[in-house]
Amino acid sequence: MRLVWPYWRKYRVQITVGMLCLIVGTFMDLLIPTIVSRIIDQGVMAEDLDRVLRLGGLMLLVTGVGAVFTVGRCIISSRVSQQFGADLRVDLFAQINRFSYAAIGKRDTAGLITRMTNDTAQLVGFTNSLMRMFLRSPVLLVGAVTMTLLLNPRLALVLAGVVPLIALLMYISMKVGFPLFTRLQEALDANNAVTREYLSGVRVVKAYNTFDQEEARFDSTNTTLAATATKAQRMVGIFFPIISFAVNAGLVLTLWLARDWVAGSQMQVGQLVAFLNYMMQISMALGMLFNVYQMLVRARASAVRVGEVLAEPDTAQQLGAAITPTWKPCAIAFDRVSFTYPNGVECRGSQTSHGIPRGESVLHEISFALPAGKVLGIIGPTGAGKTSLVQLIPALYAPTGGTIRIGGVDTTACDVDELRANIAYVAQANTIFYGTIADNIRMGKHNASQKEIEAAARAACAHDFIAAYEDGYDTIVGQKGVNISGGQKQRIGIARALVRQAPVLILDDCVSAVDVETEARIMRAILEAEETPTIVLITQRISSVMNLEHILVMEDGKVAGFGRHGDLMERCEVYREIYDSQLGRGRDC
Ligand SMILES: Nc1ncnc2c1ncn2[C@@H]1O[C@H](COP(=O)(O)OP(=O)(O)OP(=O)(O)O)[C@@H](O)[C@H]1O
Ligand SMILES: [Mg+2]
């Protein structure tokens, strides 16, 4: 729970005022039974109507003051708790934004969403209830006990027997309840995770008709959740009547003891009524403590989960003196670069599809040099490490060995933000965000003019289909927007990269859903641009790379060949195989 202190500290003035309001409100509540007792004893029993009216007025005043302070406390507590929630969400969002690729790989999206929504809501609820109940219960408890002592010390002895008994029962129920409520929270999380996973992959489930497996998975977590919830509720169901029985037994005992005193005029009826009221207030205060405790259990689990996200170290390279690479023109060189995924051990199965054992290097001693303004074509079987290789260029991951030089500077000596600002990267799995097409393209350059956006879209062969929409560039795409095809998505992704006009352009298999002719047109447009960037092009099509001067052939994380088409046909078996499988033996290029 240490996590919440800095946030609460920020609102310490409001929290203090809120707590003071709470204390005043509670004091007013404590006065009511005493006033009622006076109305009965000094007014009604003495048949003094004047006194009844005066005490009635006083009671109204006390209730009014109590209400004003309670409303004030409500306003403050809801404002503080909601602002605290907003602060926490902003910090979580910013922190997730700062996450390195490795940190993102470690966590599932669904888990991060729960932390930002459900867990934050738990902490907000706890903050609110803390201001509503936390101080109120001890004040009520101490206040009510004091009032009963003042009222009738002999009768207050009943409390000495009943209160510890109730407290003991509550303690036992907390002891039994704590692990149960912790388990309940875990079961709820597990069930949420399965539900979210199912919903995010519902199309695949339908396509493969794996509903039965999904249902079985859901059934299992759902049953556990129901069973744990039943146990927790049963515990509450058993303890609450017992506690309530103890309270009522105390009331009966009080009445029994008081009957002779009232009859013998040693005690007045009003005092008895007040006493009974205070006893009720005491049991209410204990009940509140129980509730706060229950919420604390849940909030603590949430705080741990939120804390994990906030504690993720900021892996962005913090360097004293960042060196600026020569960006225009910009050469790229890899020197014996090796790389292992930080989360490699978590790969499913013991081996990856291409025989790379989990947790082991996916890139081994990769070396090549690409002169500025040239195009590097990377080709190789699936799982060969092509994507892993290009992700190292904008420092999305750090290499585990060797050096990468961009514009003559080791990437580890560059400022990460500057590096990324100068590299346009079209990822293999491209994402279109909810918003207009123009907004999606503008992500590449936030201040791009409509003219620049259109030029980028034209180069990416996307202008024609965008212009065909009724709203053109203002067409809403993404979730709830118009549906666009895979190839159209890819072209918007390319336009997003081109609008940046960066000195380095990385295209990771991003024209796979585009026909060969369109692909050629896109490449022509890129190469004919005023300032040709240095390009790294990953492709599965041999026809896209065979005319390039620099072709890198990869297999099992290693360089299988580097050079021109002719050399590779002679010396590189992997390349020859790819060529034969795509263009056929004996066909000329
Ligand atoms: N985030 C990751 N964490 C751990 N291992 C990964 C991760 N991404 C890829 N790998 C592993 O690294 C190896 C190389 O993957 P990579 O994506 O670089 O291949 P690729 O050549 O781009 O394949 P494709 O042509 O299918 O895109 C694979 O064996 C893969 O299982
Ligand atoms: Mg890939």
SS3 call for 43:
helix
Ranges under pLDDT 50 in the chain: 344-357, 587-589
Taking CB atoms and a 6 Å cutoff, what residues make up the pocket around ligand 1? 105, 341, 343-344, 347, 352-354, 356, 362, 380, 382-388, 428, 509
CA of 383 from ligand 1 middle (Å) equals: 5
Q: Find the ligand nearest to 388 CA.
A: 1
- Ligand 1, from 358, 366, 387, 540: best to mutate by most atoms within 8 Å of Cβ? 387
Element (H, E) at 90: helix 49-98
Size of the chain, expressed as the number of residues it contains: 589
**C-alpha span between 449 and 455 (Å, rounded):** 10
Q: Whose CA is nearest to atom 8 of ligand 1?
A: 388
Q: Whose CA is nearest to atom 24 of ligand 1?
A: 382
**C-alpha span between 518 and 353 (Å, rounded):** 31
Q: What is the CA radius of gyration of the chain?
A: 36
CA of 421 from ligand 2 middle (Å) equals: 22
| Fold for the domain defined by 2-310 | ABC transporter transmembrane region fold (1.20.1560)
Residue type, 204: V
Q: What beta strand segments (E) does 215-323 contain? A: none
* CATH code assigned to 374-396+413-583: 3.40.50.300
Q: Give residue 208's pLDDT.
A: 82
**C-alpha span between 374 and 504 (Å, rounded):** 10
**Nearest atom, ligand 1, residue 385 CA:** 18
Q: Find the ligand nearest to 578 CA.
A: 1
**C-alpha span between 312 and 453 (Å, rounded):** 36
**Nearest atom, ligand 1, residue 381 CA:** 25
First to last CA, the chain: 67
Q: Find the ligand nearest to 353 CA.
A: 1
What is the per-residue pLDDT across 341-350, written as a single tens digit (0 to 9) for each? 876 433 333 3
**C-alpha span between 425 and 419 (Å, rounded):** 11
Classify residue 13 as left (phi > 0), alpha (psi -120 to 50) or beta: alpha
Q: Whose CA is nearest to atom 5 of ligand 1?
A: 344
Within the chain, all domains assigned CATH 3.40.50.300 are found at 374-396+413-583
> Is the entire prediction scored with pTM above 0.75?
no
Within the chain, all domains assigned CATH 1.20.1560.10 are found at 2-310
Q: Find the ligand nearest to 540 CA.
A: 1
- In angstroms, the Cα distances linking 411 to 363, 401, 417, 504, 571 are 17, 12, 11, 13, 32
DSSP letters spanning 135-200: THHHHHHHHHHHHHHHH-HHHHHHHHHHHHHHHHHHHHHHHHHHHHHHHHHHHHHHHHHHHHHHHH
**For residue 419, with 0-12 CB atoms within 10 Å meaning exposed, 13-18 middle and 19 or more buried, which class applies?**
buried
**For ligand 2, a single-atom ion, which residues have Cβ within 5 Å?**
386-387, 428
User: By the 8 A CB rule, do 375 and 399 touch?
Assistant: no
CA of 280 from ligand 2 middle (Å) equals: 69
Q: Whose CA is nearest to atom 9 of ligand 1?
A: 388
- DSSP state at residue 464: H
Query: What is the arrangement of strands in the sheet containing 423-426, beginning at the earlier edge strand?
Result: 423-426, 504-508, 534-538, 375-379, 550-555, 558-563
**C-alpha span between 258 and 278 (Å, rounded):** 15
**C-alpha span between 429 and 425 (Å, rounded):** 11
**C-alpha span between 242 and 383 (Å, rounded):** 64
Q: Give residue 259's pLDDT.
A: 83
Q: Give residue 158's pLDDT.
A: 79
CA of 554 from ligand 1 middle (Å) equals: 12
Which of 51, 27, 57 minimizes the C-alpha distance to 39? 51
Q: What beta strand segments (E) does 363-479 contain? A: 363-370, 375-379, 401-406, 409-410, 423-426, 435-436, 476-477
The dihedral built from the CA positions of residue 107, 111, 113 and 116, taken in this order, carries a sign that is: negative
Which of 272, 276, 274 minimizes the C-alpha distance to 247? 276
Q: Give residue 482's pLDDT.
A: 66
User: By the 8 A CB rule, do 412 and 316 touch?
Assistant: no
Q: In 22-39, which positions are buried (b, 16+ CB within 10 angstroms) versus exposed (e)?
A: bbbbbbbbbbbbbbbbbb
Residue with tokens 């039994």: 176
Which of 408, 385, 407, 380 minimizes the C-alpha distance to 397? 385
SS3 call for 401:
strand
Omega before 329 within 30 of 0, i.e. cis: yes
Q: Whose CA is nearest to atom 16 of ligand 1?
A: 385
Q: Give residue 263's pLDDT.
A: 80
**C-alpha span between 589 and 586 (Å, rounded):** 9
